[in-house]
Amino acid sequence: MKPHREPQTVSDQTSNLAMPYILPSQAQKHVTHNEALQRLDAVVQLCVSNEFPVPPSAPSEGQCYLVAESAGGPWSGKDGMLAFRQDGAWLYLEPRTGWRAFFAAQGQLRVFSSGAWRPVSLDDSSSLAMIGVNTSPDAVNRLSVASDATLFSHAGHGHQLKLNKSATAETGTLLFQTGWSGRAEMGLAGNDDFSIKVSSDGSDWLTALAITPQGAVRMPARPAARLSLTTAISTPADGSRTGFNDFHLQQGGFSLGSAVPGGTGNRLIIPETGPYLLQLTASTLSSYGHQAAVEVNGSAALAFAIGPASAGAARHSAFTVVLLSEGDWLALLHHGSAQYEFGAGKTELSAVML
């Protein structure tokens, strides 16, 4: 007894591109062959000119269009199909999963998947090893953009730009450069303080601002000084000057210059141009009436600590806010006669840039 075999159904077209077969004893076989060539011509190196709901007014031979939703006119009922112009007529092709096409209007390569044309992804996680926009990426700068501006916008609500580091000691910052050399950096630089750092050469960096996780604000490069003459008791002559030689607080570039003219001690040099708060404290053991003035550049008095005649100890203060320039120098100018106590907490000057 012969084995039973199921009858085979012979298709008259290919499975994927639906190209017609040339069948045995078929008349006008060239028609079938040409139709198959037309389909190949349409889908091989597929380029979609644009997406429209109705045909363009003057289509060119060989152009292909994606028929949009709610299509009308000759394309009515052809939503989602590819309309290929061939021999003055439209050839309609239904895209299959995995077809790829270059969409000319968008300048984008897309693949047909899950019923829609989607941008091509190079792996199953939709990720790229690196990408360059108008420039070349590298192993460190895996996303590189050369543009007049970069826009990150919202999708209906807010927008967050996230910089994540693996551990406290790592860096998560924004770096600003001039000629590829760092000039400013802000973020979490080697710790969890939010800081702003600046540099003049890309090598030496100063922390201009630091905010701790507890909210404390520090400005370690802010010019600030508290200083006096070394501890001593002295009676400066009328019209003489007193400078400084002992810092009790020094940051932000304050330094001592040359000796003051007509007196003792050295000039206090202003490190940066800007407004400063100056406070003078004058401590005397006795006085015949005196005045101690904070003087700038040996020419202009800025603040005065004035005391009357007294046989006992006294303490007088003066303060002011003034605009000073980098390189200006400060000293004390004395008038009258008094026995001063110099040193920390005695006769001293404080200067802080605001």
Strand pairing of 205-211 and 194-199? antiparallel
* Cα separation, 340 vs 228, whole angstroms: 12
Q: Which CATH class is domain 224-353?
A: mainly beta
Along the 354 residues of the chain, how does pLDDT read in single tens digits?
555 555 544 566 655 555 666 666 666 665 555 565 566 656 667 889 999 999 999 998 889 999 999 999 999 999 999 998 888 889 898 898 988 899 999 888 899 998 999 887 656 666 777 889 999 999 999 999 999 999 999 999 999 999 999 999 999 999 999 999 999 999 999 999 999 999 999 999 999 999 999 999 999 999 999 999 999 999 999 999 999 999 999 999 999 999 999 999 999 999 999 999 999 999 999 999 999 999 999 999 999 999 999 999 999 999 999 999 999 999 999 999 999 999 999 999 999 999
Q: What sign does the CA torsion over 135, 141, 143, 149 have?
A: negative
**With 0-12 CB in 10 A as exposed, 13-18 as middle and 19+ as buried, what is 306?**
middle
Cβ pair 228, 347 in contact under 8 A: yes
According to the model, what pLDDT value does residue 34 have? Answer: 59
According to the model, what pLDDT value does residue 26 have? Answer: 61
Q: How far is CA 107 from the centre of its chain?
A: 29
Q: What is the pTM of this model?
A: 0.63
* Cα separation, 197 vs 195, whole angstroms: 6
* Cα separation, 17 vs 40, whole angstroms: 8
* Cα separation, 5 vs 170, whole angstroms: 71
Radius of gyration of the chain (CA): 42
Among the listed residues 220, 223, 188, 183, the one whose alpha carbon sits nearest the alpha carbon of residue 205: 183
H or E stretch at 33: helix 29-43
Tell me the one-letter amino acid at 227: L
Domain residue ranges of the chain, discontinuous segments joined by + = 33-116, 169-221, 224-353
Query: How crowded is residue 251: how many other Cβ atoms within 10 Å of its Cβ?
Result: 15
Please spell the DSSP secondary structure of 115-166, one letter per residue.
Answer: TEEEE--SSTT---S-EEESS---SS-SEEE-SS------SSS--------S
**With 0-12 CB in 10 A as exposed, 13-18 as middle and 19+ as buried, what is 228?**
buried
Strand pairing of 329-342 and 266-269? antiparallel
Q: How many Cα atoms within 13 Å fall on the side-chain side of residue 148?
A: 0
Among the listed residues 338, 336, 305, the one whose alpha carbon sits nearest the alpha carbon of residue 235: 338
Kindly compute the dihedral angle of the four CA atoms of residues 300, 302, 305, 308, in this order, to the nearest 10 degrees: 50
Cα-flanking dihedrals φ and ψ of residue 97, to 5°?
-55, 130
Please spell the DSSP secondary structure of 34-56, one letter per residue.
Answer: HHHHHHHHHHTT-EE-EEESS--
Question: What is the biggest distance separating any 2 CA atoms in the chain, rounded to whole angstroms?
Answer: 143
According to the model, what pLDDT value does residue 129 have? Answer: 79
Which tokens sit at 298? 């040996």
According to the model, what pLDDT value does residue 267 have? Answer: 98
